[in-house]
């Protein structure tokens, strides 16, 4: 059972914005850096955000990340049909001495 909580699903129309929350605790998000991944089943997960708010090269600026206290947020603006996927937050958990993923959020583009 994951220690990072995300909403199970979100939906929005093309061109709109979605915000995905990731709630943790002081042992994980509160004191470590957060990353975000996009995952279409049966394909390789893709890194969208690392170090809370940095984008790897090739990731459009429609994707943004932020962190406040023990929660993190992934924002996706200008939604496209190709953005329909599962999204996961991840970070290190100091108490567990290991990595943890969020429960995952499925984004549907209406």
Partner 1 sequence: QITLKESGPALVKPTQTLTLTCTFSGFSLSSGGAAVGWFRQPPGKALEWLALLYWDDDKRYSRSLKRRLTIAKGASRNQVLLTITNLDPEDTATYFCARRPEQWFAELFYFDSWGQGTPVTVSS
> Which residues are at the interface with partner 1 (CB under 8 A)?
2, 32-33, 35, 37, 39, 42-47, 50-51, 56, 88, 90-92, 94, 96-104
Site of tokens 């108490």: 95
By beta-carbon proximity to partner 1, the closer residue of 21 and 103 is 103
For 88, counting Cβ atoms within 10 Å of its Cβ (0-12 exposed, 13-18 middle, 19+ buried), the class is buried
By beta-carbon proximity to partner 1, the closer residue of 50 and 84 is 50
| Residue 85 Cβ vs partner 1, minimum distance, rounded to whole Å | 12
| Residue 26 Cβ vs partner 1, minimum distance, rounded to whole Å | 14
By beta-carbon proximity to partner 1, the closer residue of 96 and 110 is 96
* Separation between Cα atoms, residue 16 and residue 23, nearest integer Å: 23
By beta-carbon proximity to partner 1, the closer residue of 16 and 96 is 96
Q: Which of 47, 49, 40 is nearest to 72 (CA)?
A: 49
Question: By three-state DSSP, how is residue 58 classified?
Answer: coil
Backbone phi and psi for residue 13, each to the nearest 5 degrees, phi listed first: -80, 160
| Residue 50 Cβ vs partner 1, minimum distance, rounded to whole Å | 4
């Amino acid at each position: 059972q994951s220690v990072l909580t995300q909403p199970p699903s979100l939906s929005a129309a093309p061109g709109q914005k979605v915000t995905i929350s990731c709630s943790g605790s002081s042992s994980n998000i509160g004191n470590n850096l957060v990353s975000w991944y996009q995952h279409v089943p049966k394909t390789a997960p893709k890194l969208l955000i690392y170090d809370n708010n940095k984008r790897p090269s090739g990731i459009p600026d429609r994707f943004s990340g932020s962190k406040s206290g023990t929660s993190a947020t992934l924002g996706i603006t200008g939604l496209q049909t190709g953005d329909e996927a599962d999204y996961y937050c991840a970070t290190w958990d100091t108490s567990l001495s290991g990595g943890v993923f969020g429960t995952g959020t499925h984004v549907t583009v209406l």
